[in-house]
Structure 1
Amino acid sequence: MPSRPSPRRPAPPSPATAPGTSAALTELPVVACKLYRADGRQRTVSRSDADLDAALETARADGGFVWIGLRGTSARDLERLAVTFRLPALAVEDAINAHQRPKFEQYPDLTFAVLKPVRYVDHDEVVDVSEVAVFVGAHFVITVRHGESSVVADVRAELDAPELDPADLAGLGLDDTDVDLDVPLPPGPHAPSPASVLYRLLDHVVDGYGAVVEDIAVDVEDIEEQVFSGGEDEHAERIYKLKREVLEFRRAVVPLVNPLQRLVDGGPTGPSATAVAEEKRPYYRDVLDHLLRAADAIDGYDRLLTDVLQAHLTQVSVRQNRASARQNEDMRKISAWAAIALVPTAIAGIYGMNFEHMPELSTRYGYFVVLAVIVSACVSLYVVFRAKKWL
């Protein structure tokens, strides 16, 4: 199993986190911080000339949002952000400590989500599960990543480099090198917004589930073929390992179904602006459909692996029974031949004793009589054992 981030308890607040104190970007483990404006313009927030308060005020004034990406965040780091962005204490604790269940939680001013990106390490047949905690407010997005995952970077790349038709760029007097300039760009169906960031993250995570399902399917089919190929190799350890990884995969996928279903059916409402608009529901329903298919596939592979393991154990038991039956048959044959050999051995042993008065010693045909008795007894025993199928 791959190493998972160990849970850490929040550290006591430091003096720097007192109310009204702003956290400078240079003091935080920020992977990226960027300002996205409502008109489509975007700008990287400089760590040297801006703090979080200034970035947030700019976003509010322009009707846009700030996206701050964090990795390896400590309790003290996130508490600094909690002061500036008024993050709920319980959500902050969940974001700091890994091993949370996938979920969506609605607070008065924001939405908190925990997503579980996964990837399949094929050569080790291991499902590597990471974790992304997402705070979505009206004018900000904060992502806290635990483990190795490219989901956040991929979504950020999509927003930073929107796919625009060259003709549209030419009509604006731009080329494909100008997308990061402080100029307005035509809004698309998924214009940057806190809600769209959450949707894109969710979409990428669920697409990753589909890729992992396909990779697991290959290994499950391979082990199934090996078990029923008639060979006598041991497969129980590999099957059990695959079942354990499927269970780990299930823990990342299945708990997300109900929260996403509620999001599609009703959707959260409030200042966090993460409610699912009616025109956006088909997109979320598509994500939900992919998620349900992944969950169904996981259940199917889990049952299939259970059946394959049972079949393999049955085959092992049958082989053991066959070996035991062969051993019993060999023992019967050995016992039968030993019983036949016992007759001449016993008679020869008796006549080998040095006594003067022995039966038939003075008889002319005594030797032949004894041989006839030995042969008759051995033939009789052979016939009896043959009838009983011991020979």
Structure 2
Amino acid sequence: MIVDQAVYRDGCRTAIDVDVSGIPPDGFSWIGLREPTPEEIDEVGVECGLHELLMEDVHKAHQRAKWDTFDEASLFVLKTAVYEPPDEVRIGEIQVVVGPRFVVTVRHGPTPDLGVVRRRLEANPDLLRHGPMAVLYALADLVVDAYAPVLSELETDIDEAEEAVFSDELRSNQAPRVYHLKRQVLELRRNIVPVGDLLADLCETDSHMVPEDLEEYFRDVVDHAQRISGRVELARELLTDALNANLAQQGVQQNEDMRKISAWAAVIATPTLLAGVWGMNFDHMPELDWQVGYPLAVASMAIVAGSLILYFRRAGWL
């Protein structure tokens, strides 16, 4: 559906409702769509005179972050991220078609409210006078800034997972949660790193896309994206270390269990051996004629078993 459509001239929103072809050279139109139908996309494409290959990309939602340039317009795909508890990151997409006198934004999946961007730009006519590229800057700034709270939530989950891994509850296997968090971080990285690369390429002098007055604004967004990427890399490394530590702890715990089992097996086997010897059906066994033979045999078993238990406890096996 078309969420909003407006014509801007000299940095201000006007009441003029005309086709893109009728917009004066010093103005531009901004058409906002949210989960549009194919018919709505085609209608806007015809109005803006978009290339058929560009239209094909707009029809295909959930693409990678990219920047494609055609004769009449350029297509920018920005990936959005939203955190949903517990431990879940959902990825959305904003497609931005930038032409000389128009901007078309197409939202798919979980995305921020672009009405905030409109109000921000409309409150800053000096920035809005730069035309469609000012809209692209504001959208990129919103998308990149939205990564920070998502990553903060993931970092909180990572801290909790680390505490659980190194807690006294060694029987608790945290590997499934740590692995799930790592998958979420990798999914976030897979989508936001290309956005930063896209914006960095856009700021290159040979791109001729960014007006000189907007270069500082775009570089600021690139700087924010690079900082977010650094935090994502750190989060990935922490999860890798936590997963390795959890697996190592599980191995140590299994060794502890095997030592305990072996120690108790030795404690049980020794009295069993003695009982087997005394239980043999021999005629000439001195203990058979002793009144203290039976107590002596039982006491010997108890002493040997007690000695083994004491030894294994001192050795840390029990």
Instruction: Give yes or no for TM over 0.5.
Output: yes
Q: Which amino acid aligns with 1:307?
A: D
Q: Could you list the per-position Cα deviations for residues 361-383 of structure 1 after superposition, in whole angstroms to 9, with x for gaps in the alignment?
A: xxxx9952596599589859966
Match runs of 1:80-99 below 5 Å = 80-99=43-62
SS at match of 1:119: strand
Query: Which of residues 303, 316, 321 is equivalent to 2:237?
Result: 303
Do residues 237 (structure 1) and 163 (structure 2) align?
A: no
Q: Shift in Å at residue 129 of structure 1?
A: 0.9
Do residues 31 (structure 1) and 3 (structure 2) align?
A: yes
Do residues 257 (structure 1) and 196 (structure 2) align?
A: yes
d(CA) in 1 for partners of 2:210 and 2:61?
Answer: 27
Q: Which amino acid aligns with 2:164?
A: Q
d(CA) in 2 for partners of 1:95 and 1:366?
Answer: 96
d(CA) in 2 for partners of 1:366 and 1:262?
Answer: 94
Do residues 56 (structure 1) and 20 (structure 2) align?
A: yes
Q: Which amino acid aligns with 2:105?
A: T
1:107 is matched with 70
| Conservation of the 8 A alpha-carbon contact between 2:51 and 2:72 | no
Q: Which has the higher helix share?
A: 2
| Conservation of the 8 A alpha-carbon contact between 2:67 and 2:75 | yes
SS at match of 1:234: coil
C-alpha distance 374-224 of structure 1, shift in aligned 2 (>3 A): closer
SS at match of 2:274: helix
Q: Which amino acid aligns with 1:222?
A: E
Query: Which of residues 132, 141, 158 is equivalent to 1:203?
Result: 141
| Conservation of the 8 A alpha-carbon contact between 1:344 and 1:374 | no
Query: Which of residues 103, 127, 134 is equivalent to 2:96?
Result: 134
d(CA) in 2 for partners of 1:294 and 1:58?
Answer: 42
CA RMSD of aligned residues (A): 3.0
| Conservation of the 8 A alpha-carbon contact between 1:117 and 1:129 | yes
C-alpha distance 336-44 of structure 1, shift in aligned 2 (>3 A): farther
d(CA) in 2 for partners of 1:325 and 1:288?
Answer: 55
d(CA) in 2 for partners of 1:108 and 1:200?
Answer: 24
Q: Which amino acid aligns with 2:242?
A: V
| Conservation of the 8 A alpha-carbon contact between 1:116 and 1:132 | yes
Q: Which has the larger radius of gyration?
A: 1
Q: Could you list the per-position Cα deviations for residues 229-260 of structure 1 after superposition, in whole angstroms to 9, with x for gaps in the alignment?
A: 33222211111111111111112111123221
Q: Could you list the per-position Cα deviations for residues 159-212 of structure 1 after superposition, in whole angstroms to 9, with x for gaps in the alignment?
A: 34x16xxxxxxxxxxxxxxxxxxxxxxx42443621100000001001011222
Match runs of 1:305-344 below 5 Å = 305-344=239-278
d(CA) in 2 for partners of 1:145 and 1:346?
Answer: 87
Question: TM-score of the superposition, structure 2-length normalised?
Answer: 0.87
Percent identity of the aligned residues? 31
SS at match of 1:297: helix
d(CA) in 2 for partners of 1:372 and 1:321?
Answer: 40
Q: Which runs of 5+ in 2 are unaligned?
A: 314-318
Question: TM-score of the superposition, structure 1-length normalised?
Answer: 0.71
| Conservation of the 8 A alpha-carbon contact between 1:329 and 1:390 | yes
C-alpha distance 287-320 of structure 1, shift in aligned 2 (>3 A): same
Match runs of 1:368-383 below 5 Å = 368=289, 375=296, 379=300
d(CA) in 2 for partners of 1:135 and 1:158?
Answer: 20
d(CA) in 1 for partners of 2:169 and 2:288?
Answer: 58
d(CA) in 1 for partners of 2:276 and 2:107?
Answer: 81
Q: Which amino acid aligns with 1:308?
A: A
SS at match of 2:216: helix
Which structure is higher in RCO with an 8 Å CA cutoff and minimum separation 6?
1
| Conservation of the 8 A alpha-carbon contact between 1:336 and 1:390 | no
Q: Which amino acid aligns with 1:245?
A: Q
Q: Shift in Å at residue 40 of structure 1?
A: 2.1
| Conservation of the 8 A alpha-carbon contact between 1:132 and 1:144 | yes
Do residues 213 (structure 1) and 151 (structure 2) align?
A: yes
| Conservation of the 8 A alpha-carbon contact between 2:189 and 2:229 | yes
2:316 is matched with none
Match runs of 1:271-286 below 5 Å = 275-286=209-220
C-alpha distance 155-376 of structure 1, shift in aligned 2 (>3 A): closer
| Conservation of the 8 A alpha-carbon contact between 2:45 and 2:55 | yes
1:228 is matched with 166
d(CA) in 2 for partners of 1:62 and 1:380?
Answer: 104
Q: Shift in Å at residue 111 of structure 1?
A: 1.4
Q: Which runs of 5+ in 1 are unaligned?
A: 1-28, 46-53, 164-186, 270-274, 351-357
Query: Which of residues 109, 121, 124 is equivalent to 1:147?
Result: 109
SS at match of 1:116: strand
SS at match of 1:150: coil
Q: Which amino acid aligns with 2:20?
A: L
How many residue pairs get aligned? The number is: 311
d(CA) in 2 for partners of 1:335 and 1:44?
Answer: 96
Q: Shift in Å at residue 94 of structure 1?
A: 1.8
1:65 is matched with 28
